């Protein structure tokens, strides 16, 4: 078994795709409109769906807003340079939540919000894993 994708409902699909492509450097893998259901699915990621878990953005055409609720936590993205990645996200429409800092465990991380208000955690890989353990594509 393996995790295939995580789905987020979004209000403005174009804005969300642009954010995940530009701010978080994901690639749009596929996109499909479902006329009968009045929704569109877009899948983005850092590799092919056959190899890695990806992000599914769902846009329901007749929905103008969502309540985020209190059960969802955040997406976590591993980055090489925390400060540069944080600044890059802000430049591409992210809202700051927690500026880059070192937590008690020694892990360097920051939080931003995407265009729909979902939290995105940026974790500096070198502070999370030793040199031989850093996950790679």
Do 79 and 108 lie in one domain? The reply is yes
- The DSSP symbol for 71 reads S
Of 62, 81, 102, the residue that ends a domain is 62
For residue 137, what pLDDT is reported?
46
Name the domain count of the chain: 2
Are 54 and 2 a contacting pair, CB within 8 Å?
A: no
Q: What is the pLDDT along the chain (137 residues), one digit of tens a residue?
A: 899 999 999 999 999 999 999 999 999 999 999 999 999 999 999 999 999 999 999 999 999 999 888 888 999 999 999 999 999 999 999 999 999 999 888 899 999 999 999 999 999 999 987 654 555 54
- The DSSP symbol for 94 reads P
Closest CA relative to residue 125, chosen from 79, 87, 88: 79
Is 136 inside any structural domain?
Answer: no
**Active-site position among 14, 121, 124, 133:** 121
Is 18 inside any structural domain?
Answer: yes
For residue 71, what pLDDT is reported?
83
For residue 129, what pLDDT is reported?
79
Active-site residue flag, 121: yes
Cα 23 to Cα 30, 48, 85, 124: the distances in Å are 19, 19, 8, 16
Do 27 and 56 lie in one domain? The reply is yes
For residue 20, what pLDDT is reported?
98
Do 44 and 6 lie in one domain? The reply is yes
Do 89 and 46 lie in one domain? The reply is no
Is 68 inside any structural domain?
Answer: no
Determine the structural domain holding residue 83 and report its residue range. Answer: 73-130
**Residue 85, helix vs strand vs coil:** helix
Q: How far apart are the C-alpha atoms of 20 and 62, rounded to whole Å?
A: 22
Which CATH number fits the domain that encloses residue 40? Answer: 3.10.180.10
Provide the whole-model pTM: 0.87
């Amino acid at each position: 078994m393996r995790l295939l994708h995580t789905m987020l409902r979004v209000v403005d699909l174009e804005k969300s795709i642009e954010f995940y492509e530009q701010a978080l450097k994901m690639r749009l893998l596929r996109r499909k409109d479902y006329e009968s259901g009045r929704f569109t699915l877009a899948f983005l990621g850092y590799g092919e769906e056959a190899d890695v878990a990806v992000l599914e953005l769902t846009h329901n055409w007749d929905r103008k807003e969502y309540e985020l609720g209190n059960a969802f936590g955040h997406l976590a993205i591993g980055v090489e340079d925390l400060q540069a990645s944080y600044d890059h996200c802000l430049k591409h429409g992210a809202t700051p939540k927690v500026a880059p800092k070192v937590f008690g465990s020694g892990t360097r991380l920051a939080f931003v919000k995407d265009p729909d208000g979902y939290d995105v955690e940026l974790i500096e890989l070198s502070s999370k894993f030793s040199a031989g353990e850093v996950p790679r594509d």
